[in-house]
Amino acid sequence: MCDTNKNILITEVALRDGSHAIRHQFTVEQVVNVVKALDEAKVPYIEVAHGDGLGGSTLQYGLSLTDEFELIEAAAATAKNSKIAVLSLPGIGLEKDLKQAASLGAKMARIATHVTEADVSPAYIELAKELGMETVGFLMMSHMAPTAKLVEQAKLMESYGADTVYVVDSAGALLPHEVTEKICALRDHLSVNIGFHGHNNLSLAMANTLAAIEVGATRIDGSMRCLGAGAGNTQTEVLVAVLDKLGIHTGIDIYKMMDAAENLVAPILEKPQEITRDSLVLGFAGVYSSFLLHAQRAAKRFNIDSRDILIELGKQHIVGGQEDMIVDVAAEIAKKKNVTIG
């Protein structure tokens, strides 16, 4: 029977997932200031990269203001205790990118695939292990696969050498009982660490995270001030406080986390992270959270409702890596509605 572990390791993802929310405009100064504060707060892992991972700075996914390797290098040089993590989606990030990230001081590689496509990850997981990096298998859009399929894919990542396998609720679409079922199943069938990454599009990130921890997840993601795609992730400083009340150890200084969130991350936000009508639709329709700004831009271009775009993307099961389909879907909706494009 799954039960709660009293020691949880948190990965702060605002400097990667949060890149989506600010159109990938992080500066070196911002990254250095945030990493320094997180390091002093004793956060175990800090993820730094383009929102779509290594190699994500493209016209399709969004161009970064600052080369991500500059950000990774600055983060690694700043952190004295925290380990810098990077995300790589095979096919977007290349093996050479992973090697460069490791050479600059990244200590953890999170290899991300669609929940049914773990078989594209072995070369990357094996390379990360060869580079001496702690390695995570990151099964995105986990709501799109039945639990048995999720277990099958997680076991593949474990067999490739992953130290941890994550259930990733990329759309913020999972309900707590579904998280419980999926995490417990992984805990029963895998011998490696189990992690959970949530999004708050249905206002369930905290509830889902606690459900995951209750049944055995020990690696948890959060983002300060919910700085992440869509409505953001589980809010880290709140999570640390809640876990402290539950008697669950994180090793993180809650006051310093509060200060970092208030003084450093809040000013970076272009607007407060809240559940808007569009981010709500992301969770309702089960759409990749990073599609939010892309869909809003397409809606403006074609003079249609962004919700119609998101609902249609959900119906077509469009997933990360298919951002080019957003414009196609918008154009088709405008054509059917006979909308005049301004």
Q: Does residue 16 have a known ligand-binding role? A: yes
Please confirm, yes or no, whether 20 is among the known catalytic residues. Answer: yes
Please give the average per-residue pLDDT across 273-283, as a whole number.
Answer: 95
Please give the average per-residue pLDDT across 106-113, as a whole number.
Answer: 98
Distance CA 71, CA 168 (A): 24
Supply the pLDDT for residue 259. Answer: 98
Give the model confidence (pLDDT) of 53-78 as tens digits. 999 999 889 999 999 999 999 999 99
Give the model confidence (pLDDT) of 156-194 as tens digits. 999 999 999 999 999 999 999 999 999 999 999 999 999
Supply the pLDDT for residue 321. Answer: 82
Distance CA 259, CA 256 (A): 5
Supply the pLDDT for residue 170. Answer: 97
Which residues lie closer than 8 Å to 95 by C-beta, 6 or more apart?
123, 124, 127
Query: Do 209 and 223 form a contact (C-beta atoms < 8 A)?
Result: no
Query: Do 221 and 10 form a contact (C-beta atoms < 8 A)?
Result: yes
Domain made up of 290-337: CATH architecture: Orthogonal Bundle (1.10)
Supply the pLDDT for residue 340. Answer: 72
User: What is the β-pairing status of strands 193-197 and 219-222?
Assistant: parallel
* Alpha-carbon distances of 284 from 81, 247, 271, 279, 315, rounded to whole Å: 39, 33, 22, 9, 11
Q: Does residue 197 have a known ligand-binding role? A: yes
pLDDT tops 60 at residue 283: yes
Q: 313: buried, middle or exposed (CB in 10 Å: 19+, 13-18, 0-12)? A: buried
Would you kindly state where each structural domain of the chain is located, as residue ranges? 9-268, 290-337
Supply the pLDDT for residue 1. Answer: 42
Supply the pLDDT for residue 320. Answer: 81
Q: What percent of the chain has pLDDT over 70?
A: 98
Find the catalytic residue in 20, 24, 114, 294: 20
Which residues lie closer than 8 Å to 221 by C-beta, 6 or more apart?
10, 11, 12, 13, 17, 47, 166, 195, 196, 197, 198, 233, 234
For residue 190, the number of C-alpha atoms closer than 13 Å in the C-beta half-sphere is 32
- Taking phi over 0 as left and psi of -120 to 50 as alpha, with beta for the rest, 284 belongs to alpha
Query: Do 43 and 252 form a contact (C-beta atoms < 8 A)?
Result: yes
Give the model confidence (pLDDT) of 16-46 as tens digits. 999 999 999 999 999 999 999 999 999 999 9
Supply the pLDDT for residue 72. Answer: 98
Q: Does residue 187 have a known ligand-binding role? A: no
Residue 176 is encoded by which pair of tokens? 């707590």
Task: Tell me which residue of 115, 195, 198, 189 sits closest to 159, measured CA to CA.
Answer: 189
Q: Does residue 17 have a known ligand-binding role? A: yes
Distance CA 263, CA 265 (A): 6
Q: What is the pTM of this model?
A: 0.94
Full DSSP string of 209-221: HHHHHHTT--EEE
* Third-level CATH fold of 9-268: TIM Barrel (3.20.20)
Sign, CA torsion 90/113/141/161: negative
Supply the pLDDT for residue 333. Answer: 95
Residue 280 is encoded by which pair of tokens? 């709500």
Q: Which has the higher per-residue pLDDT, 306 or 5? A: 306
Q: What confidence category does residue 3 fall into, taking pLDDT thresholds of 50, 70 and 90?
A: low
Q: Does residue 249 have a known ligand-binding role? A: no
